[in-house]
Amino acid sequence: MGKSAADEKILSYNDVVLRRSDLEILSGPYYLNDRIIEFYFSLLSSSYPSQDILLIPPSIAFWITNCPDVGGLKDFLEPLKLPDKKLVIFPVNNNDDVSIAEGGSHWSLLAYHRSANIFVHHDSNGQTNKRHAMRLFKSVVGYIGCSSSAGNAKYLECIGTPQQVNGYDCGLYVTATTRTICCWYESSENKDATDLCFSAVKEQVTPPVVSEMRKEILGLIKDLMSKK
């Protein structure tokens, strides 16, 4: 496929523009890019429209992680209204070079649960992204709570997070885990549940489910394309 064909816009969904090359990524066993994760997060946000839930796009999470001046994040983060949210999910990428778009080689996610005032890192490949998740946590922790609790949130590596069985499905684990956490939050009668959805993630995010996610996201895109 030529470069111009790969760059062809195939779908605009909310603020996300998908290109022909994104279909190729989903059609084969390839590492998901920012656009596909942002598209799925946007789709989930429409499925779970609760004002309590906020799914952060990869580009914003990346900037928070790598902002050279944490004190200067205030104006950038204010529109997100983080102190008003009960569940906030950030995709974490291990790209260290801010000059390279679409960089990095691994995705994980950091979920903030206000009920327990804790950030939980779910990494499908051991603790590959721990350093990057910690950097994101340290950048955002002072802005997540009200003034009385700002900076007091804890950080936890979830050692029970389901592990990927190949080298390219990390982004799919992020989408599947995010969907499971959102579903758990919406259906949970006790949103202060102490296991913080750990058991739901462990039971529901399995290799077959993750593998199916690739086909599911591709099908969702094609369905939306047919309705243009």
Are 227 and 32 in contact by the 8 Å Cβ rule? The answer is no
pLDDT band for position 147 (cuts 50, 70, 90): low
Q: Answer whether residue 191 shows pLDDT above 60.
A: no
Stretch 207-211: mean pLDDT: 94
Q: In this structure, what DSSP letter does residue 19 have?
A: E
Q: What's phi and psi for 116, nearest 5 deg?
A: -110, -5
Q: What CATH number belongs to 34-204? A: 3.40.395.10
Domain boundaries, the chain: 34-204
For residue 16, is pLDDT > 90?
yes
Encode 31-58 in three state secondary structure.
CCCHHHHHHHHHHHHHHCCCCCEEECCH
